[in-house]
Amino acid sequence: MIPRSTKVLVVGAGGREHALCWKLSQSDGVERLYCAPGNGGTSALPKTSNVDLKVSDFAGIAKFAGEAGVDLVVIGPDNPLADGIVDFLRAEGLRVFGPDKQGAQLEASKAFAKDFMKEHGIPTAPYLVADDLSSALAMLNENPWIRVVKADGLALGKGVFVCDSDEEVRQALEAIFNERRFGEAGNRVVLEERLEGEEISLLFFCDGKSISAMPPCQDHKRRFEGDRGPNTGGMGVYSPVPLYLNCQTEIESQVVEPLRKVFANQAFDFQGVIYAGILVVTEHSLEGKPVYKPNVLEFNARFGDPETQVIMPLLQSDLLAILWNCTEGTLATTEIQWAKKAACCVVACAGNYPEGSSSGKAIELKETAEHVYIYHAGTRLEAGRLVTAGGRVVAVTAVDDAFDQAVTRAYEGMNSVAFEGMDFRKDIGRRAVGACP
């Protein structure tokens, strides 16, 4: 049973955490909400205070949660999960939403994730694993299909090299093993075949026994229009995804069903969010009909950012009940309703992001139209004034019955945001405009 007046602590400081706190603050069952360390948006929410603690300060977080009488801790980012924050807090007697260190391996080790997919029959690109440069080069010699090199560990989304030639593969291997560009995250590499297709993010709540899918969405990882430039944490996202509407049956039978079986058989201990990055290869039958082949590129063991900024505004049910019931193992009997609407989220970042970030510049925010929301990421309050404090600064999400309107209104919402050096991609959702209902 969920206590009637719950105190919840959300760990993290990004747009994802603001969206989670925004939704939790609407829950009647939440009496007090804390965000550690939070940002300028979380501190302005009803019932909510920021707590000045680093996400890596497990002891400080445990102490605060104990003293404040926190009933549920929700972990946002990947690093503390991989470092075992959940194990630490549980050992202190706290209830935590998020996977333990072993479960978080699904994201923290790409080799672990690939072996998991192989074992459970989840389609993924062919792969090999190497622990040093000479064996990786030998594998490349014998397997000319290798075109993707991935540092095994967490590398801020930068540890993946998609190559065009053997030479580029060799350069990637040298960057990882010789230059040690990703430190220990590059002690091991996954070598993959390169697939071509469109990507879909599909996130699931998971209580260790069952899973429940959230609305599919599509992230825009590259910095510039037309999917050019360096990879970022994500420049914008939208839901639904037209491609998903075409290949839902294939994703359901080839990805979701095997995953469901893993948990029905309790073959993997995991509570939290499983985020599958799916690449859909489209081939054609002899009759010229499209044949869709979904492949899981990676798993994340947490909510996506900015994916959460479109998913939360579409959730009609009580988020507290869902997260709580995941920790109880009662997800299967929990009501989860999603609005049958479209959402589009555009990220406003510093001009020099992702290489650089912005700090201390005044942010001006104006009132937005109905169903248009501003989620803060890199912001903080400085003497009562909202200023920039990061690469991705805020994101604007619009929800609408019509997809095209959601996109238009998200961009209109951008007029409510201003700070020096502000930039954003102008083509978020463009691929889907006209293709979504």
DSSP state letters, 191-255: EEE---SEEEEEEEEE-SS-EEEPPPBEE--EEETTTEEEE-S-SEEEES-HHHHHHHHHHIIII
Is the separation of the CB atoms in 238 and 406 below 8 Å? Answer: yes
Q: Does position 195 bind ligand AMP by CB under 6 A?
A: yes
Q: Does position 198 bind ligand AMP by CB under 6 A?
A: no
Judged by beta carbon distances under 5 to 8 A according to partner kind, the member of ligand GLY, ligand AMP, none in contact with residue 199 is ligand AMP
Q: Does position 234 bind ligand GLY by CB under 6 A?
A: yes
Pair of tokens at residue 197? 């297709």
C-beta closer to ligand GLY: residue 32 or 221 = 221
C-beta closer to ligand AMP: residue 192 or 305 = 192
Site map (CB under 6 A) of ligand AMP, residues 344-383, x = contact: ----------------------------------------
For residue 120, which amino acid is it? H
Q: Does position 318 bind ligand GLY by CB under 6 A?
A: no
**Least distance CB 298 / ligand GLY (angstroms):** 9
**Count of chain residues binding ligand GLY (CB under 6 A):** 7
Is the separation of the CB atoms in 412 and 372 below 8 Å? Answer: yes
Contacts (Cβ under 8 Å, ≥6 apart) of 167: none
* Strand, coil or helix: 100: coil
Is the separation of the CB atoms in 262 and 113 below 8 Å? Answer: no
C-beta closer to ligand AMP: residue 157 or 258 = 157
Other Cβ atoms less than 10 A from the Cβ of 199: the count is: 17
Among 277, 365, 371, 411, binds ligand AMP (CB under 6 A): 277
Among 100, 192, 219, 318, binds ligand GLY (CB under 6 A): 219
Of 79, 29, 30, 73, which Cα lies nearest the Cα of 51?
Answer: 73
Q: Does position 305 bind ligand AMP by CB under 6 A?
A: no
Other Cβ atoms less than 10 A from the Cβ of 290: the count is: 11
Q: Does position 162 bind ligand AMP by CB under 6 A?
A: yes
C-beta closer to ligand GLY: residue 51 or 55 = 55
Interface residues toward ligand AMP, by CB under 6 A: 125, 148, 150, 160, 162, 192, 194-195, 199, 221, 277, 297-298
